[in-house]
Each structure stands twice: as structure tokens, then as C-alpha cells.
A and B are shown apart, each in its own frame.
Chain A
């Protein structure tokens, strides 16, 4: 690892990682809609086609199922596909290939075929997109055995986790927060930087209550935690980084230490991954709790149109209220 680092946006970190990984491993093929000549609709794949050519950076027809499905075949041929689904909301068109084929390939062939496949997709709200461009579907994917899910909350982690995802011998869904592409900037180590899948990040130490979250919401949780500091409340923030594998040890450790926990997700409440975290706390460290775990999430409605968005996505105010609820004495 290099000692030097540079300040990058999450988008720049992702682009840089794709460049360096493609240079490192000539088996890597990028495929997706508008990933070549246009450099991706957010420019995540900018410059790749110029550098690596149109055999390795492929503009596909608008066919999510064929993007995911042909990735299976590319992997069978010994290549390493890094596919892009332009927005996670359109992964529904590829769901039968992702859930029914990619995630099962190793299991159903008893490891004859290794699905070393990364699927990148932007997701999450806050930027007033058209319908189906903002949906947080991570819990739906977490219920698919055989699929890993990485969701960076910082530019540095975007680099480290994407590097791990591409090199992982199993399929990884790599989710990039729309709001974070340009909205999140931090110091990113130059050169090779690896963040292992399955290791949560204690973004902020604390002793009174821990907020557990992932992806862009971590940024909001961190701000809320900082604001409590001035009031003498010590709030920890745990960024899960990956939902599968889940770092149950880190959850156990920090919840045991704090005795109080808040779980924040942007996705709808029912069947969301926050429920899984609360069940995990129940399994691992229930008796260390001093108050019920509080859950903050979006509502059980389809992701709303732009003018309603601010009433849907959890914000600092809601997270703050949840922390107060968690620590209130009765």
C-alpha cells in the first residue's frame, strides 16, 4: 500500500479503480449500456474504451438480462466481466439471471464454474431522478444465496471495496449511491488499496449508542453523531460496508459496548435489511441492550416522485430523533 493519498470524489475513485484493475488483469471485460463511447451516463467508465479498446469495453444493446446472462458465459470462458446496470431499478429486468443463474452457478455446478462477476449499479435517492432510478433494492438481493453485496460510503472505500469485488471469485453486486458520486469526497490512498469484503468500518467511536448503517446514509449518521458530541452524548457509527458477508462480530462488539443501537436504511421498512440487523443483534447480544433497537427507514411505498422525495428519504432530523428515542430514560 502507498503512503500517499489524494482527495477524490467517489466517482473519481471508482473510475480510477476500473482503470487500474483493467491494466492489472487483462481478463477483465467491462460491459453495459453507454459504458464505452459515452464513458457511462455518470462517467464512471470514462476513458476506458480509449485505453483498453472496444473489445474490452463494450457498449451493449439495452438488454439487462443479456448483460447479466452473457456475464455468466464470459466467466465460463475464463474472463472477468465487470457489468454495469445503468440504474439498480432496472435490475428487475435482469433479476432472473442475477438471482436464478449468476448467484447459483458455483453451487449448482459444485464449483466447476466460478462466477467471478461484478455487477455495478447506482442506486438510492436524493437527486430527483425519474421513476425507478432511485430505488434501494439491497434487501431483495441480500435474500439471494451466493451473491455478495458491497455498498461503499466513502471514496476510499469505493476504491478498496471495488478492488476486492473485482478480484473476488464470487459474484458481487457493487452498489454506488447516486448522491455520493460527486457529493462524497475524501482522501483515497494512491496505488493499490484493498478493503476486504465482510469487514465493517467503525467510522466513529462512541460509548452511549451506536448508529448502524450503510452507503450514503452513513454520511448523515456521521453528521448526527458529531452534533451529539457537543451535547455530551457519545454516538458511535458503524458502516457495514457489505451486507453479504455480514460482519456480525463487529455488530456484536459495538452494540455490546454501547448497549443501545439505531439502524438506518433508505429502503422501505418491511423486509428491509435493518430488520436483519436487529435480528442479528437479537441473536448475538440481546442481553447487553439497555433499550429497544430503533429502526429508521423509508416508508412502505414505491419510491416517490421528486417533490415528495424529501419526505421519504431519512434525513438527519429523523436520525437525530431516533438517537434521542434510543437514549431517553423512562
Chain B
């Protein structure tokens, strides 16, 4: 199966650097009180970016959980723009515009897995080309939705790729308390579909595994479960203190396997990357984030939009509630 070529590998690394750099900025923005809770991407970049680069953005859908958005740059600048609105708590943060084939982050663990199966199933019923990739974590694999959706996908041979990002922690719960199975990939046997394990710190291997799964999907051979093993290098979210439960020696060891370090070393050795390039990309990443934040902050918001988009046509009840809201605001917010 295809490994990424040099050009693709450079683009993958560029996206990984951008994601890591922007994640650092996001953390600070949260600490400054400028944005809400975020889940850092640190340590997951190779898996997320490597996977996304193996897809066809024109035809393939991505259903992220909540740690992924910074790694989805390949699908267009609108992803970051929507993500910054989302981080501010603006309702348009949930609106990634057509025709971008990315759905908004999913907070309910594993809930988007059946959505992915339905979407893939619907695409095959309509003879639409492409596949669907859904991200979820090791913890989410314990939810019923994972089993129900995996089973249904197996029966329907839906063109879907289940990407389980095993970062070893579900907030504070280690994988040893999450499952007694040999691996998360082995759960595929219950669905009658292939399960593969990859080193999620190597984007080439993730790219390869996703390419192969995609190939199966679009050729009518059905779903694949991929377990991509990484290590969560940061906190679960900005609201979490991992020093309470992550053994420091384990974290130190994981930091030595930081996916950005090893790939940077390799690319530099092969003259595909340089310190200048690194600086240039980091600078771009921050400027781009500032731009997206500014844009988000300047996006107008009417208080009455709290009542919009519940139904296509407003019910009598909602109209009454809208009238009440506008009156209570003194009519200044029509």
C-alpha cells in the first residue's frame, strides 16, 4: 500500500507543526479567559494529520470527536474559523459550511460512530463515491454506540473507517481499566471486520493503514477498525490536572517518542525540512490563529439567536418565548 511521498510527508509535517503550535496558543487563550475549555491535541498530531492526508477531501467525510479540529487543516481554512467560533461559544462554531465534508466536534463519546455508519450506508445507497472516517478514543470504545454501530456496519458492509485513537488515557482511566481485551483492534472480530494496530506516532504508518481501509471501503469490502496508539502528552482538557494520575516517568518516556521530534529529525536528515522552515511555519500558524480569533470575535451575535435553528419553522411556543426574550431585553436587540 502507498506510503506518503516526500511532498505529502512535508505537507503532513507542516500540518502537524501548525496543529502543535496553535494548540499551545489555544491553551494560553484559555488560561487568559478568552476562550472556553479545550482538549489539547499534543501527542495526537501524527495520527490525526496522517489519517486525514490519506483521504479524498472531495468525497470522504470526517467525523471528529473533540481533540481533532486543529489537525483537520487539509479540509480547508473554514475548519479553524469555525473552531475558533466554537471556542468562543458562538453558535456558528457548529456550522462548518457546505461543501466541506467535516461535521462539528462531537462531545458525547462514541455517539458519532452510528452517524458515521448511517452516512456511509446512505452514500452507498445513493452510489455516492467516497468513504467516512470517524475518530474516537480508547475510552469511547467502551460505549454501547461503538458496539451497535460496529456491528451494523459489518452487516451492511458500510464504507466506513473506525479510527480508534488510543492515547492510553480516558481522562484519568488507563487502558488497563478500560478493557481486558488484548487490543482495541481485536474488538473488530465481534463485527466480522478487519482490525489493525498501528504506531500512531508515525504518520506514514497511519497514512498507510487509512489508505488501505479506504481502499476496502470504496471497493465495497466494508469497514475497518484501526487502533492507532499514541500517548496523550498533555492534559485531557484545560480543566484537568494530569499530575494527579499520570506517572511522571511514563510521561517522560512518551515525550521522548514525541511524533514531531522523530519526524522532524528524519525530514531534516533528508533535507526536506529546516530550522528556517520550522520558524516560518510556526509564525504562519500563530498569525493564522490570530486572524481566525479576530474574525470570530468580530462575528455578530444577536441574543435572540438563542432561539434560532430549533425547528425549520418556529412553533407557537417558541414565537411566544422569542417575544418574551425581546421584551425582557428592552427591544434593543431586534
Contacts and interface: CB of A to CB of B under 8 A. Distances in A.
Interface of A: 29, 55-56, 60-61, 63, 65-66, 68-79, 81, 93, 96-97, 100-101, 106-114, 145-146, 148, 169-170, 198, 244-249
A77 B119 contact: yes
- Looking at chain B's contact residues, the main secondary structure is helix
A246 to B, nearest CB: 6
B111 interface: yes
B145 interface: yes
Contacts of A106: 309-312
B104 A76 contact: no
B40 interface: no
Contacts of A101: 108, 111, 115
B312 A169 contact: yes
A25 to B, nearest CB: 14
A76 B117 CA distance: 11
B155 A73 contact: no
A246 B319 CA distance: 12
B114 A73 contact: yes
Contacts of A60: 152, 155
A65 B144 contact: yes
A74 B312 contact: no
B140 interface: no
B122 A246 contact: no
A146 B311 contact: yes
Contact of A61 (B116, B128, B155, B315): B155
Given A97-B111, A112-B98, A249-B316, A76 B310 contact: no
A78 B111 CA distance: 20
12 contacts: A56-B125, A61-B152, A66-B151, A69-B114, A69-B118, A74-B122, A77-B119, A113-B103, A146-B311, A170-B312, A247-B316, A249-B316
Interface of B: 91-92, 94-98, 103-104, 108, 111, 113-123, 125-126, 128, 132, 144-145, 148-149, 151-152, 155, 308-312, 315-317, 320
Residue from B114, B117, B151 with most neighbouring chain A CB atoms (10 Å): B114
Residue from A69, A79, A81, A248 with most neighbouring chain B CB atoms (10 Å): A69
A110 B111 contact: no
B115 A114 contact: no
Contact of B119 (A76, A110, A169): A76
B114 A74 contact: no
Nearest to B93: A110
Contacts of B115: 69-70, 72-73, 76, 101
A73 B116 contact: yes
Contacts of A100: 108, 111
Contacts of B310: 106-107, 145-146
A63 B153 CA distance: 12
A235 B155 CA distance: 55
Given A29-B122, A70-B114, A108-B104, 6 more contacts: A63-B152, A71-B118, A109-B104, A169-B312, A170-B312, A248-B317
A246 B118 CA distance: 31
B244 to A, nearest CB: 29
